[in-house]
A = this chain, B = another copy of it.
């Protein structure tokens, strides 16, 4: 067995363990009896530990180096699987080896404790309860970042954090692009709010869950998934995950009083699922088979949710299905009324309930505060005040208590600093990809209106999905015809939404 085959086999084993963990995670959130929680946490911790030990072994580094030097490791990305594997795995391995296992264990334990305290703190709206745990998380995260001193490409203490979710994206670039987005959004939201008129929302009403389930299963069947390769289950916080090739798990949440919740979240998760299903089969069971970055991942879910499913053509296509699924409920409505309902804009305090126009301001606030934390420009005790000031400045809202403010998200208690900005990056990238797809495919909205989701699906698979991790996010976008990151397509799209909602 050559070095490449040996490396590939070892990585395939590690990959398989990660897929077992994916199933344990899916099951925990969809199927597991409540009394199984404690045992499940132990099983997941063991799988993470065994995988980490297997991956950080000296042998992986040696084989990677051998493959790199033997197979032209500096070949143009995308031309040789061996070279791409050596490049990507070499970087992952270097990163993994820099973090002492004690620190890793401390991070896991601290965030697990903080998450539990957070539940209580949020229920009581008591930030002071969480504060010492947040301080511990930030201290450990700083120590994590310090492990990467001198690591190629890292210039800012936030860079190693961002890199976990958006590899090879610099904090400075992210700061610049999100500032541009903020400058476009703040006046747009102010404008949208000036004509705040209550809209009759066609998705609010009495929608029996079993009928919602049937409608959404039919809808996902119409999306370009391979036959027999997915299932859809209810859960509290929707997500999508891949258990293995040909096995995509989508989830959604049903609100019997609001059809929009399940409908748009299911399409959102389907967008994630299509990305993972579309990776080149040649990459199966290698670390190259994963999506490139959270930003790219989110671009796929947002594109299907906001550019496809909330569009007039899509709503025209689905209207007869809504009429059939909910007799009498949609008879008097036309697609433009659905579109208006799907484009509602309302400034609100809670990120996960936000519409697509105001959503990015919620993200910006979090991202700016994270930068302040890791640039030592703010004390954690001052976070609630800083949070509330920004909600006032950007959204014109007063935060009544921390439960509706700084305590609302699990990310900081769980130690996931660097995650938030990828949500907005996803929206930005979705706008650019949509423009490129419209250019390349031709008549894209008309095709969607006819229920042709394959044209867009094929284009995305070819331009984005199939590459897996072989190309960087920037390379993928460039080859898809998107050139440099730009907020203009997203802002243009959101301006249209404001016009529709007006």
Contact B228 A34 (CB under 8 A): yes
B-chain residues with CB within 8 Å of residue A12 when the two chains form the complex: 42, 46
Distance A244 CA – B247 CA, assembled complex (angstroms)? 23
**Option from B16, B35, B47, B231 in Cβ contact (under 8 Å) with A16:** B47
Decide if A227 is an interface residue (CB 8 Å cutoff).
yes
Decide if A282 is an interface residue (CB 8 Å cutoff).
no
Distance A13 CA – B54 CA, assembled complex (angstroms)? 14
**Option from B24, B46, B247, B285 in Cβ contact (under 8 Å) with A32:** B247
Decide if A219 is an interface residue (CB 8 Å cutoff).
no
Q: Mark A243-263, 1 if CB is under 8 A from B, else 0.
A: 111111000000000000000
Known contacts A16-B47, A39-B247, A50-B50; A23/B27 CB under 8 A: yes
CB distance from A250 to the nearest CB of B (A): 11
The count of identical subunits is: 2
Contact B21 A43 (CB under 8 A): no
Contact residues of A between 7 and 24, Cβ < 8 Å to B: 12-13, 16-17, 19-21, 23-24
**Option from B16, B21, B42, B243 in Cβ contact (under 8 Å) with A36:** B243
Distance A35 CA – B229 CA, assembled complex (angstroms)? 5
Known contacts A32-B247, A38-B246, A245-B39; A16/B229 CB under 8 A: no
Q: Mark A438-467, 1 if CB is under 8 A from B, else 0.
A: 000000000000000000000000000000
Q: Mark A138-172, 1 if CB is under 8 A from B, else 0.
A: 00000000000000000000000000000000000
Contact A19 B43 (CB under 8 A): yes
B-chain residues with CB within 8 Å of residue A34 when the two chains form the complex: 228, 246
CB distance from A247 to the nearest CB of B (A): 3
Distance A169 CA – B178 CA, assembled complex (angstroms)? 71
Contact A31 B244 (CB under 8 A): no
Distance A34 CA – B227 CA, assembled complex (angstroms)? 9
- Tell me the nearest residue of chain B to A231, going by C-beta: B33
Interface residues on A, range: 35 or more
B-chain residues with CB within 8 Å of residue A231 when the two chains form the complex: 31, 33
Distance A212 CA – B13 CA, assembled complex (angstroms)? 42
**Option from B27, B35, B39, B244 in Cβ contact (under 8 Å) with A227:** B35
Contact B247 A35 (CB under 8 A): yes
Distance A95 CA – B130 CA, assembled complex (angstroms)? 52
B-chain residues with CB within 8 Å of residue A19 when the two chains form the complex: 39, 43
Contact B42 A247 (CB under 8 A): no
Decide if A230 is an interface residue (CB 8 Å cutoff).
yes
| Chain A residues near B (Cβ < 8 Å) | 12-13, 16-17, 19-21, 23-24, 27, 31-40, 42-43, 46-47, 49-50, 226-231, 243-248, 284-285
